[in-house]
Amino acid sequence: MDDKIIDGKLVSEKIRGEIKIRVDELKNNSSSVPGLAAVLVGDDGPSQIYVRNKRKACENVGIYSEEHKLPEDTSEDDLLNLINKLNNQKNINGILIQLPLPKHINETKVLNSVNPDKDVDGFHPVNAGNLFEGKPSFIACTPHGIVKMLEHYKIEIEGKNAVVLGRSNIVGKPAAILLLQKNATVTICHSRTKNLEKVLSEADIIVAAIGRANFVKDSMVKEGAVIIDVGINRLDTGKLAGDVDFQNVISKSSMITPVPGGVGPMTITMLLWNTLQSFEKSIS
Ligand code: NDP
Q: Give me the pLDDT at residue 154, please.
A: 98
Above pLDDT 70, what percent of the chain?
100
Q: The domain that contains 93 carries what CATH number?
A: 3.40.50.10860
Find the mean pLDDT for residues 101-114.
97
Which amino acids bring their CB within 6 angstroms of ligand 1? 142, 165-168, 170-172, 189-193, 209-212, 230-233, 263-264, 267
Q: Name the residue type at position 78.
A: D
Give the ligand 1 atom nearest the CA of 167: 9
- If asked whether residues 162 and 237 sit together in one domain, one would say yes
Residues paired with 208 in a beta bridge: 165, 229
Q: Is the pTM of this model over 0.85?
A: yes
Q: 219 alpha carbon to ligand 1 midpoint, in Å?
A: 21
Q: Please, which pLDDT band fits residue 46 given cuts at 50, 70 and 90?
A: confident
Task: Say whether 228 sits in a helix, a strand or coil.
Answer: strand
Q: Give me the pLDDT at residue 268, please.
A: 96
Above pLDDT 90, what percent of the chain?
95
Q: Which residues contact 114 (CB under 8 A, 6 or more apart)?
A: 83, 87, 95, 97, 123, 124
Q: Give me the pLDDT at residue 16, please.
A: 98
Q: How many residues does the chain have?
A: 284
Q: 27 alpha carbon to ligand 1 midpoint, in Å?
A: 39
Find the mean pLDDT for residues 100-109.
96
Q: pLDDT tens, 195-231? A: 999 999 999 999 999 999 999 999 999 999 999 999 9
Backbone torsions φ then ψ of 140, nearest 5 degrees: -50, 135
Reply yes or no on whether the pLDDT at 45 is more than 90: no
Q: The domain that contains 253 carries what CATH number?
A: 3.40.50.720
Give the ligand 1 atom nearest the CA of 145: 40
- If asked whether residues 98 and 146 sit together in one domain, one would say no
Please give the Cα distance from 97 to 120 (Å, whole number): 10
Residue 62 lies in a domain: yes
How high does pLDDT run on average in the chain?
97
Name the domain count of the chain: 2
Residues paired with 36 in a beta bridge: 65, 94
- If asked whether residues 186 and 252 sit together in one domain, one would say yes
Q: pLDDT tens, 151-172? A: 999 999 999 999 999 999 999 9
Active-site positions? 54, 98, 121
By residue range, what is the domain housing residue 104?
Answer: 31-116
